Amino acid sequence: MPESFPILISVAAEDAGKRLDQLLATRLEDVSRARVQEMIAEGLVLVNNAAAKASLKLRGGERVSVLGEAQRTPLKAIAEEIPLDIVYEDDDLAVINKPAGMMVHAGAGATDDARNRGTLVNALLHHLGSLSQVGGPLRPGIVHRLDKETSGLIVVAKRDEAHRKLSAQFAAREVKKKYVTLVHGWVKKDSGTLAQSISRDRVRRTRMTTRLEGGRTAVTHYRVVQRLDTKFGKFTMLDVKIETGRTHQIRVHVAAMGHPVVGDTMYGAPRQARGQSAAISLQRNFLHAAELEFRHPRTGETIALKSELPEELREFLRKAQGE
């Protein structure tokens, strides 16, 4: 959000019928709808110089004034006793096999409620005791991220120096990461590179898109492992390596190719894969961070780790193939 206030917005005729909070969430850069609602509740948004509700239906022609950002109590991550699959650990770092359904850390817009509970960071604080503070109080130890519904390997730093050196490896694209994904349809080429830039969707702020100009560079390499022809439709198993680590990068790139990740309804996958007399579904994305390789930040030794597909993904494959 810009630092200078007030922000003045003229409501266009084509915005007639929209809710006030909906309009502001699309007009204010990097501000979620929940955050907008907080600002409105604190009286920081005026419509024609009068206080308004988030649910106000706009008619077009109004002048909206945003007076400032909502104030909130600073949060920090809290330790929680949550099971963790730690595949590697030493005094400098740890590598975790994260399950799908677990957020890596609470978002900056979280309040002291369920969104600040059950995260990987909270579990790490309980199991490891101390983490690097480079990432701040909500993201201690976090060097890189995996989406909530993506499983697999993630490295975390215990010490600040380790954090900085690992971050430098990621920035220099020296860390090797391989993902396994199952996508809808048969991918035509046996291998390829996807290099569309990625931006935040201007309408649906939780989504990313390749359809806008001026996005951030993103490079994804894929290789076909297997093409499946099942009674529930055609699927392709891919090995994927990424040079960059943009938000939702693999999911956005394969969806733009016309082959969304199985289970990823945000980017166009159906809720169920249907056959003539039955259907199967997956309550997560079929995307798994299977391999991770980096240099140890203190010793320089190569650390190379692998993670097998979790049971729920193997079960989906068995069902799809009629086993």
Dihedral angle, C-alpha 160, 217, 288, 144, nearest 10 °: 10
β-pairing verdict for 63-66 and 45-47:
antiparallel
Backbone angles phi, psi at 11, to 5 degrees: -80, 120
Which residues are part of the catalytic machinery? Answer: 147
- 277 burial type by CB count under 10 A (0-12 exposed, 13-18 middle, 19+ buried): exposed
Residue type, 167: S
From start to end of the chain, where are the E strands? 7-10, 45-47, 50-51, 63-66, 86-89, 93-98, 151-157, 176-184, 191-194, 199-200, 208-209, 220-230, 233-242, 273-274, 279-280, 287-295, 302-306
Instruction: Name the token pair of 247.
Output: 């938000």
